[in-house]
Structure 1
Amino acid sequence: MFVTGLLLAADGSAQLGVPKQLLAYHGDTLLGATLGTARECGFDQLIVTLGAGSDQIHDRIDLDGVRVVESPHADTGSSSIVPAMEAVDRRTDGIVVLLGDQPGVTSATVWSLVAEVAGPATPIGVSRYDNGRGHPCWFGRELFGELRGLCNDAELWEVIELGQFPVTQVDAIGNVPPRVDTWDDYRRLVSGVNPAHGAFTPGAFDDTHPTPLPVRGPHRRHRAAP
């Protein structure tokens, strides 16, 4: 089975005021951490979508062996998945969709998802956490036409929820890993502090503002698909 990993990292956050992909996270960056996990998964092809902050990301994150798809209008609501579909290898049997601002997703969760959907060739697979469903998600080849017709990335869940295709739910450990759209989200992610205990002031943490950081450790290298 030929599996493509699709890491969505084109969206930004007006509330943050900086590219969230470059926010410091455990000695790396937010995108660096999620990209490291995606590399650990051993996908046959790995695609990353980038948006308005693409130039800065190229300068500061190791994208070696990754097929990068530019989606500069993702912040205005355009789908970054649609242009990414043009880069999907013709041999691909299915796509695993991951989010660039969700570093809590583990390679073990991805492996469990793929193992569950690979045998029966399930059209859609969704990770089921203790508090709900979330990424990573699997979309088989028969869904590629649907993905090419999305108006925005959020419509991915409409495809799942409409019930036109069978959905396999695969158990994942814990709650849905948090994402980052606000400074409170970021504080919760890096420190575990409950935002209800007080308002977060940007600059209160050393990790608040993106700074040049070394790429974390040696990555598993993937040759870009022809």
Structure 2
Amino acid sequence: MFVTGLVLAAEGSPHLGVPKQLLAYQGSTLLDASLETARECGFDQLIVTLGTASEQVRERVDLDGARVIESPHADTGSSSIVPALDAVDRRTDGIVVMLGDQPGVTSATVWSLVAEVAGPSTPIGVSRYDNGRGNPCWFGRELFGELRQLRSDQDIWAVIAASRHPVTDVDAVGNIPLRVESWDDYQSLVAQPHTRGLDPPVVPPAALPTRGRITRRPHHRRRV
């Protein structure tokens, strides 16, 4: 199976005043951490979307191994998934959607998801955490037509909720990993035990310059 990883990092951060992709995190940046996890997954193809902060991100984040798709209108709510679909390899069976501001997602979670959607065609796969559904998500090629109609990236959840296709929930460990959408989110993230002592929260935080194959693993699933 040919799998494309899609890291969404085009969303702006008007409440922060600085590009959240460049916030300091574990010795590099928030986006670096998310991309490092994506590389660990060993996707056959890796795509990352960038928005209006693209020039700054390109200067400071290691984008090695990823195809960059510009989506400057994402700040106004347009979907960055739509232009990214044009770059998806024609051999791709489906895409795994990850978020560039959610570094707590692990490669193990991605492996579990991909292991479940391997084999018979699975149109939609969603990570099911203790407190609900979250990323990463899987969309088979048969969903690309619907994804091209998205108005915003957040609308993937409407597609999941209203889809005529079956949805496979794949168990993920713990609660949904924290996303950084505000200063409080960022300070909570860097204060978590696994990051404590690496990047103490500061206001404003510094923006720092900064880099397998998919493995099948056993797990449980729920199909709805």
> Share of identical aligned residues, percent?
71
2-side partners of 1:76 and 1:6: how far apart? 20
2:142 counterpart letter in structure 1: E
Is the Cα contact below 8 Å between 1:3 and 1:44 reproduced in 2? yes
**1:29 positional shift:** 0.4
Tell me the SS of whatever aligns to 1:73: helix
Alpha-carbon distance in structure 1 between the residues aligned to 2:39 and 2:115 = 17
Instruction: Write the letter of the residue equivalent to 2:207.
Output: T
Q: Is the 8 A contact 2:190 2:201 kept in 1?
A: no
Report the TM-score, using the length of structure 1 for normalisation.
Answer: 0.88
Question: What is residue 208 of structure 2 aligned with on the other side?
Answer: 212
Residue 85 (1) aligns with residue 81 (2): no
> CA deviation digits over 1:18-64, x for unaligned, max 9?
00000001111000000000000000000000001100000011112
Decide which moves more: 204-213 or 38-47: 204-213
Note the C-alpha offset of 1:210: 2.8
Corresponding residue for 1:71?
Answer: 71
Counterpart amino acid of residue 154 in structure 1: Q
SS at structure 1 position matched to 2:157: helix
Q: Does the 8 A contact of 1:12 with 1:19 survive in 2? A: yes
- Which position in structure 1 is the counterpart of 2:33? 33
Q: CA 1:108 to 1:207, structure 2 compared with 1: closer, same or farther past 3 Å?
A: farther
Superposed counterparts of 1:59-208, under 5 Å: 59-192=59-192, 205-206=201-202, 208=204
SS in 1 for 2:14: coil
> C-alpha displacement at 1:205, in angstroms?
3.2
CA distance in 2, matches of 1:173, 1:205: 26
Deviant stretches of 4+, over 6 Å: none
Query: Per-residue deviation at 1:209?
Result: 2.0
SS in 1 for 2:21: helix
**Could you say what the CA RMSD is over the residues aligned between the two structures, in angstroms?**
1.7
Equivalent position SS for 1:159 = helix
Compute the displacement of 1:149 (Å). Answer: 1.1
- Do 1:9 and 1:101's aligned partners in 2 also have CA atoms closer than 8 Å? yes
For 1:54 and 1:133, the matched residues in 2 are separated by 29
Q: Could you tell me whether the CA contact under 8 Å between 2:7 and 2:98 is conserved in 1?
A: yes
- Unaligned runs of at least 5 residues, structure 2: 194-199, 213-224
Amino acid paired to 2:99: L
What residue in structure 1 maps to residue 11 of structure 2? 11
What's the CA shift string for 1:171-206, capped at 9, x where partnerless? 00000001011100100000139xxxxxxxxxx934
Tell me the TM-score normalized by structure 2: 0.89
How many residues get paired?
Answer: 207
Query: What letter matches 1:141 in structure 2?
Result: R
Does the aligned pair in 1 maintain the 2:186–2:201 contact within 8 Å?
no
Q: Secondary structure at the match of 1:180?
A: coil
Q: Distance in 1 between matches of 2:128 and 2:208?
A: 35
Aligned to 1:196: none
Deviation at 1:208, TM superposition (A): 4.0
Mind listing any 5+ residue stretches in structure 1 that lack a counterpart?
Answer: 194-203, 221-226
Q: Which amino acid aligns with 1:209?
A: P
Supply the distance in 2 between the matched residues of 1:189 and 1:205 (Cα, whole angstroms): 9
